Structure 1
Amino acid sequence: MAEDTLLKHQPLVDELKQSLGQASFSRDFAAKTAQLPKGDQFIIKMEFNRLRQPCSRTIDLRGTASGEVQSYSYKSQQHFMDAQAIATFEKGVARFGDYIMAVYEMVMEEVNNQRQLRQGATPQPENSEKSARVIHFASYDFRQQERMNYTIKVSVMVNDKTIEGKSSDISLGGCKLKLPSHAMLERGQKVQVRFTGLEEDFELGLKNGLEYEIVGIDPASTIDFYYARMKRTGSETTPGFDEFLARFINGNKRRYKVNLDNTLDAVLTKGYEQYYLPRVSSLFSFICVNDKKLTPKLLLTTENNAYIHYYFSDEERRSVLPSILNTQRISSILARKGQVKSTLLYSFSHTQNGKVFFYSATDIELATYPKLRSLFFSYASRKPSWRVFKLQLVPVQSEDSHIPLSLPDSAGEAIAKLNKPPSARVQSYLKGLKYLCTLSEVSSANLTAHKRRYRLDKSLVNQLKVFGHRKVAEPELEVVALEYANLRAHKRYLYQTEVTVESGLAAPMSAQSRDFSVLGMQIELSQPAPETKKGDVIYLRLPQLQEITKKFELTQLPYEVMAVSKTGTILNLKAYQKSKQPHVGVQFFSQLVENNKDKLQVCEEEPKVPGLSKALRNIVVKNLAQTPLYITKEEAHLELGAIGEGRYQSAIHHIWRQFGEFSTQINLKPLLSIKEFQQLSDTLRDGNRQDKPKTFDLFIRLNLKKDDLSSAVTSRCISTEEDYSSLLPFVNKALKSGLLFAFRLHLSKTGRPDTKYLISELKYISHYALHKAKELEQALWRVEGVIDALAIDELVPKLCDIEVQDYQKMLERRNLWLQRLG
């Protein structure tokens, strides 16, 4: 009702805003609203009361502003704005005297105006197919105190007058009261409040009430009342009442509803984050400043990205990433335009006398050596160790590591402990943190074939030494595994038994198991086996376990080596199944676990630095530069059920916003045709949780002459193993008359939702609304697959046989379009 009134008088409201903050505002307001009904006057007045309220919202334009975003502090509050937004902010503060809601809305209106500039977009009808969720990563709010919805009679004393009303909700530090419109209070006023309804049943000892300050005025559903939001001023010392109120809320919050909205949103968002992060194929490296040099200090690994860490390891299994990501290279990338600084990194290694030497170059560096460019590609692309990575850099800060729960400390001691910032030990690891570097492999057979077109002159190969990395003593990287409860399909159990490695090594070797699961085990060899490497298949015999079974023949059991320790003695193994025949080891260990669950000791790994994995995880979700997509099961079919959005938006976000399609629920069906989505869903159904991600390339063509999203967007999706020649007509059409965007999709099948990470908030919700907790879990169980979408526009000329001039012209049109979006 209030919204309808404001909409009806929008021109008048806009006119009055021009004098807001000036001494003549009250006079102008009275004159220009004199002819309006009293109810309309009241609603408009409350709107301006709202605009005059102090604002605590952080303005963060990273990922949305067209200009260069910089850090801006006002009264100890940090914002991230471009120059235009800062100018608007300062103009507003100068006009109103402080950072209030009017200033916030001035800035956001300016941002929106920049986005809409020269677009000429027309409003779109509501789409009935908006069924996909939008998951805003790291967007959950923290509440300082529990609020209990509780209605009692109250008396408000102000200026020798008493106003009778009712409470709407109460907490230890504040309350929300419903008061009659004839007795309007104003923001900033201090009043005395007596909880007369409580005084009828309890002796509170508060004859004069408690002092509160009005922090906000909100309209009610009818014009006869309004809501006043208040906070305790703390001018009185009332330990007895405080203790009573704490006990009262704690004792009645199950009877009277506790406001759970922010907690429900937080659990859903975190659940989707926990599906995505363990399945990311990109390696996260945290760049710190040390002695005025930028260098990687920490790595966050998952089961999908750890192979990149292993790839950049030498013969002693020491990481060479500090040399690969050197200060000079990082500085050259940071000099590039855009919020997310990126380049392609080409790498290969050469082994000589048992030593592994690495060579690498970025697009930036190859441009400075034009005569060596073709030589580098012709030689490097023919090496078995040839790899191509996309390297992305975004600014971060150590404060990003702290994300408290959505629950207040008063919800319990365990909650208060979890809400604390990272420990001093964790913060010491984050000292000097400046950038998050994301390494994503984009190698493919098509890309390798493109580079092998260059003719190789072996007589010139020595000239490539300029791209080599010397073997120097680099500081050891701290490798931190992402903590995730359900990363493994099966639990691991501590168990020592004799193992004989029968083949795969020069001679049979004795070993001892350290732990096992149904699908694998970890063994320790009696002596190092330097010739054994990741990917080898070895065969095991289990003599002691053979004594307890006649049903299974525990010899010649094939296992694949998944990881080798630096000492060469500890091997992580996974059951190797080349054919459809059942693996005898898997069958035996399945039965062993089933019959001995009470006797076996579950292996629980303790992190080296407690809290460090969580801190790094928080930094990643706050600074996400890629696009998560979720495939969910709806009834009997699969569909694109959600899209994630981080601080940095991709072309998909921009396109959907261009057509007014980006809200809490959106229609993702135009992103993939029925045929192409079927290809992805079939791949998902045929795979299992342990499979490596399947890769596809998605090409999106945008026709700006169309008025609706479904007509403007067409796409083609192809496996990276297929020939790209069939895409040429589609790509060329986009280059000549539209805009083209490309993404590498990493498709993974999900497992169970990680409820362990959500357990504190789920328990809290279950305590007060069990049905809502169950609904949340059911929503998370519907997620069947995760897609990690990485922009690969720079690869298009290398993957498709296209005219470079046409591609450059398209880029100019696309950049202009993005600038107009703001």
Structure 2
Amino acid sequence: MTAADLQQYIGVIDRMKSLLNSADFDQVFSLLTSDLPKSKQFLLKMELKRMAQPCNYFIDLRGHVDGDVKPYDYMGKTHYMDENAVKVFEAGLKQYGSFTLGLYEEVLNTENNFRVMHRKQTEDRVRDALQTNTAKLAPLPDSEERSDAHYATIIHFGNYNARRDERMHYSIDIELELDNSAKRVRASTTDLSVSGSKIKLQQPIKGVIGSIVKVHFTGLEQEFVLGLADGVSYKVVDIDQQSNNTYWRLQRQQNENEQQFVEFLQNFINANKRRYKVNLDNVSQSMLSKGYEQFYLPKTNTLPVFIAVKNSQPVPICALTTDYNKAVWQYFLDEQHQAVFISICHVKRLKRLLQQTSLEMSTTLYSFTHAVKGKLFYYSATREELSESEALKELFLGFGSSKPSWRVFHLSLLRTNAAQAEIPSTIPEQTQAKTETGLSSLIKNFIQDIRYIVNLTDITGSDNTFWYQTYPVDQQKLKLLAQFGHKKLASQPPCEAVAVQYVNLRSESRYLYKTAVTISDNENQAELNGHSRDFSSKGFQLETVLPVRFQKGDLLLLNLPDMQKISSKYELQALPYEVMAVSKSRTIMNLRAAEGTEPHVGRLFFQQLIQNNRAKLTLAEESPKYPGLNVALRNLYLNSQHHFALYVHRKGIRYEIDTIAKGSTGNSLHTLLSIYSKDPAKLDVSLILQNHATSLQFTQQLKQMKRFDNPKPSELLITVSRLTATDKPNLQCRYDYEFSSEQAKQEYVLNALQHNVLFCYKLQLSRTGRPDTDFIAPELSYISAYALHKAKQLEEELWSVAGVIDAIDISSELPWRFGAKTDLIQNHDQRKLTLLAQLQQPVA
């Protein structure tokens, strides 16, 4: 859509639409814009070039517009549009000359589009609020008074509650002896185990955590001869007040004279645990944590790089890779395929991060590369490093963003230690299999020096890059950028890529194999040469020397000349395969055998090839160099990270967001949402769901996504009014798709930086597959043995997960993107630190 600040030039834009691909474009554009400032000319030309880009998207307005949607065929593709959209589409074809991105956006922004209607309503609401008072907004009512609260359960990553003994729900009368007093206090147990108990007091008593009490099991002594006239010593470990009831958690103290009582309790619990319910809360919670972790980790775009400290120097030794963060790993591989993280994560940079006092030790990392004589040189700078010189900042951002290798990363630093690499058992000891073992000595030696994890998340976007390109570049000063270049090291320490271990959702194994392939399509008989990267009986991954123009859904004919030499039984010519995916470089394609009425000859050939040569073939899934290392790194990462993740559950035909994941400490978004959340086990997410409008937005995206699709990005902006002595802060949120243009978003951001406190989060929506039941099998089996209905309920909860949203805090990147002045940013950052410090103070 046309930007708000370009509306006055709408006549120029409409005039130029028909000349977008014409040879007269530059001449006519110069004549029409000769009286405009260079900056406006630049913005207009960039907007027009963007609108002129060819578009291959399918238009599907089913469920998106207030109208009757029907199929519409154009250039061999079937779109689904209503009458209004068809009129806009056909009129646009005459203006643009073809199906372009500008035309696509016009069709998706008709007046009867539900998203457009909602955006206009939101804009009116925000405009009214801003006009009322832009400097200070009225506080929201307390959470208990809010009828639109929507609470989500919190799942704690890496938090496995291990118990040594089974706890049985069992109520029996007891008496407490406090401080060797002759007076006893009546109470009753609510659960009982060999090592402890939870008791309910029958009268209010002031207890002290850490004190020792004597427990007399009067109820048991009526049925059994215990011989415990002096009682049993217990330590008070927790006191919980619920309504009018007081509960104490007790831990039995070790005493050799009570061995007989220990044996009695063990036998008593074993004999009665089928009669009385076993407490499964801890095992159930651990099972859910592990299940949700296995949904999140394979979908993350964040690359964790593990830093060991050797001879007082940080050394990156490995990184945990997924299908979605491999692009970050590959970006930092030089011409010799060696990772350059030791240059990126150098001592000075890490020390500066460690000195931060904020909730999250993080920064923004800007990077680009330069190739000279076959060698690849890296240039990088953090936000703090560039802040030291305004001229260098503008030079680095302006020049770097013009390079194809330009990247913007969110970089955060986590503390860790080798002790966190092992998952504690989540099942009571007496039920564990005897074959369970810990980490091998090889793994322990490998990870023993790991002290930090550096998280790198690619937050580059085409819109971001456009804004950075507006920074002025003085070509005469480019030599000053040499100080940000990383020198080639004579000896580079090895850094391993370790793949995340999770459930394999492929229908069959793939095997690495390189063989010549010639490709042609039905329309163009010209052949293209390439080679296979891997294969299965049902498909191929092919790589070509030259970029291809094929799209998903195209039908290709493959010839396998080298394979034909070893097979006389099958005719390996003109084999039909369908394009399933094409890489960004347009040189790698995933193909699937196109089945017809007759068996596919290629599938039959490869089935026999695999069957006869399975032992000789190499699986595409690489075998780990250190078996078990991926699990150890997984545990280190999940025990340290502080990301915010939302889970989308499918319940019938509806999708709901009612579960949140939290790391060891959480991040600023957890803090903001907790302002009006009274229950510490839940968070009120009504702010970011916007009366379920956002849920519908995510739902529509999720319905159109496949499991292997790249995440759908969006940005969430939250403005917080300043705190006063009495008022609670007021929060307002907007999503990037609610802005009419990038220029409107810029105005909103600059205004918020001046008057309020601004937070911004990049949200990555991914579609999930089935749960990793192998990973939670021990917990599921244990729960099933005592409460089958409970196990089915937990399993159904995990099976209902349809998507996961990873939220990355990019608040520090946004002001620079939109060119905010240094003094404005400094004042805003100080207000932000003050706000977070106040929010994190315990409530009196």
Q: TM-score, normalised by structure 2?
A: 0.68
Q: Distance in 1 between matches of 2:207 and 2:809?
A: 53
1:131-150 aligned at under 5 Å gives the runs: 131-150=151-170
Q: Secondary structure at the match of 2:358?
A: coil
Measure how far apart 1:144 and its partner are: 1.2
SS of residue paired to 1:366: helix
Counterpart for residue 350 of structure 1: 370
Tell me the residue number matched to 2:70.
none
Offset of 1:778 from its aligned partner?
1.4
Deviations along 1:261-316, one digit per CA (max 9) or x if unpaired, are 11112222222222111111111012221111122222111111111111100122
Residues paired across the two proteins, number: 676
Q: Structure 1 CA distance, aligned partners of 2:463 and 2:245?
A: 70
Q: Write the deviation string for residues 625-675 of structure 1: whole angstroms up to 9, x where unpaired.
A: 321122222342223222222233333222222234564344323214355
- Picking from 188, 193, 200, the partner of 2:212 is 188
- Which of 590, 601, 621 is matched with 1:575 structurally? 590
Evaluate the alpha carbon distance shift between residue 282 and residue 367 of structure 1 in structure 2; reply closer, same or farther with a 3 A threshold: same
What CA deviation, in whole Å up to 9, does each residue of 1:552-597 have, x standing for no partner? 9536776879899xxxxxxx976248xx998999988889999999
Paired residue type of 2:453: L
| Structure 2 residue 688 is the aligned partner of structure 1 residue 664 | no
Contact 1:540 1:557 in 2 (8 A): no
1:609 to 608, 626, 634: 626
CA distance in 1, matches of 2:168, 2:414: 41
Give the Cα–Cα distance (whole angstroms) in 1 for the partners of residues 308 and 333 of structure 2. Answer: 20
Alignment check: 8 A CA contact 2:302 2:457 kept: yes
Distance 1:322 1:627, change over 3 A: same
CA contact 2:158–2:664 (8 Å) conserved in 1: no
What amino acid sits opposite 1:338 in the alignment? S
AA matched with 2:737: I
Q: Hey, what's the Cα distance between the residues in 1 that align with 2:632 and 2:377?
A: 33
Superposition deviation, residue 156 in structure 1: 10
Q: Equivalents in 2 of 1:655, 1:787: separation in Å?
A: 18
CA contact (8 A) 2:167 2:279 kept: yes
Q: TM-score, normalised by structure 1?
A: 0.69
C-alpha contact 2:531 2:542 (8 A) present in aligned 1: no
Give the alignment partner of residue 436 of structure 2, picking from 417, 440, 448: 417
Q: Which residue of 1 aligns with 2:493?
A: 475
Q: Show the counterpart of 1:231.
A: 252
- 1:737-769 C-alpha deviation (Å, 9 max, x unpaired): 433211111111111112221111111111111
The separation in 1 between residues aligned to 2:425 and 2:741, in whole angstroms, is: 48
What is the one-letter code of the residue matched to 1:771?
H
Sort the Cα spacing of 1:683 and 1:256 in 2 relative to 1 into closer, same or farther, 3 A.
same
Matched, 1:640 2:650: no
Q: 2:339 — aligned with what?
A: 319
Paired residue for 2:639? Answer: 622
Q: Aligned partners of 1:146 and 1:389: how far apart in 2?
A: 47
Structure 2 CA distance for partners of 1:559 and 1:164, relative to 1, 3 Å: closer
1:502 aligns with 2:524: no
Once the 2 structures are TM-superposed, how far is the Cα of residue 369 of structure 1 from its aligned partner?
A: 5.4
CA–CA separation in structure 2 for the residues paired with 1:641 and 1:536: 40
8 Å CA contact retained: 1:339, 1:394:
no
Q: Is the 8 A contact 1:696 1:744 kept in 2?
A: yes
Q: 1:406 aligns with which of 422, 426, 432?
A: 426
Tell me the amino acid that sits aligned with residue 719 of structure 2: R
* Within-5 A mapping of 1:211-230: 212-216=232-236, 229=250
Corresponding residue for 2:130?
A: none
The question of 1:756 aligning with 2:774 is answered: yes
Task: Give me the whole-angstrom Cα distance separating, in 2, the residues matched to 1:557 and 1:120.
Answer: 55
1:715 aligns to 2:734 (yes or no) = yes
How much does 1:349 deviate?
1.6
Retained in 2: the 8 A contact 1:145–1:408? yes
Structure 1 residues 206-605: aligned runs within 5 Å: 212-216=232-236, 229=250, 231=252, 233-236=254-257, 238=259, 246=266, 249-250=269-270, 252-368=272-388, 370-414=390-434, 417=436, 420=438, 422-458=439-475, 460-472=477-489, 473-486=491-504, 488-492=505-509, 499-502=515-518, 516=536, 518=538, 520=540, 541=560, 543=564, 553-554=574-575, 575-576=590-591
One-letter amino acid of the structure 2 residue matched with residue 253 of structure 1: K
Contact 2:723–2:729, Cα closer than 8 Å, also in 1: no
Pair 466,704 (structure 1): closer, same or farther in 2 beyond 3 Å: closer
Whether the 8 Å CA contact 1:627–1:789 is kept in 2: the answer is yes
Percent pairwise identity: 28
Tell me which moved more, 159-168 or 405-414: 159-168
Displacement after TM superposition at 1:405 (Å): 3.0
Q: Distance in 1 between matches of 2:599 and 2:482?
A: 48
CA distance in structure 2 between the aligned counterparts of 1:711 and 1:120, rounded to whole angstroms: 6
Describe the SS at the equivalent of 2:410. Answer: strand
CA contact (8 A) 2:234 2:250 kept: yes
Distance 2:219 2:611 in 1: 56
Contact 1:173 1:231 in 2 (8 A): yes
- C-alpha distance in structure 2 between counterparts of 1:221 and 1:330, whole Å: 46
Give the 3 Å change call, closer, same or farther, for CA 806–163 of structure 1 in structure 2.
closer
Q: Report if aligned partners of 1:333, 1:341 keep a CA contact under 8 Å in 2.
A: yes
Are the equivalent residues in 2 in contact too, given 1:490–1:517 (CA < 8 A)? no
- Aligned equivalents of 1:344, 1:512: Cα separation in 2: 36
- Name the structure 2 match of 1:171: 193
Check the 8 A contact 2:468/2:817 in 1, yes or no: no
Distance change >3 Å, CA 600–CA 695, structure 1 → 2: farther
Query: How far is the alpha carbon of 1:790 from its aligned partner?
Result: 0.9
**Residues 190/457 of structure 1: CA separation in 2 closer, same or farther (3 Å cut):** closer
TM superposition shift of 1:466: 2.4
SS in 2 for 1:501: strand
The 3-state SS of whatever aligns with 1:642 is: strand
Give the Cα–Cα distance (whole angstroms) in 1 for the partners of residues 270 and 610 of structure 2. 40
Amino acid at match of 2:516: T
Moved more, 160-169 or 710-719: 160-169
Q: Which amino acid aligns with 1:492?
A: S
- Is residue 150–residue 684 contact of structure 2 (8 Å, CA) maintained in 1? yes
Change (3 A) 1:635 1:521: same
- Give 1:500's aligned amino acid: A
Say which is worse superposed, 544-553 or 382-391, in terms of deviation.
544-553
CA distance in 2, matches of 1:771, 1:306: 40
Partner Cα separation in structure 2 for residue 404 and residue 469 of structure 1: 41
Gaps spanning 5+ residues in structure 2: where? 1-138, 521-526
Candidates 743, 761, 778, aligned match of 1:743: 761
Task: Supply the distance in 2 between the matched residues of 1:772 and 1:384 (Cα, whole angstroms).
Answer: 53
Distance 1:242 1:590, change over 3 A: farther
> Root-mean-square deviation (CA), in Å?
5.0
| Other structure's SS at 2:164 match | coil
Does 1:655 pair with 2:672?
A: yes
Indicate if the aligned counterparts of 2:582 and 2:590 stay in contact, CA closer than 8 A.
Answer: no
Cα 1:559/1:462, change in 2 over 3 Å:
farther
1:483-510 Cα deviation digits (max 9, x unpaired) = 1114x4434156x989433369x99688
Q: Deviation at 1:398? A: 2.3
Aligned pairs for 1:651-800 within 5 A? 651-660=668-677, 663-673=680-690, 674-703=692-721, 712-718=731-737, 723-800=741-818
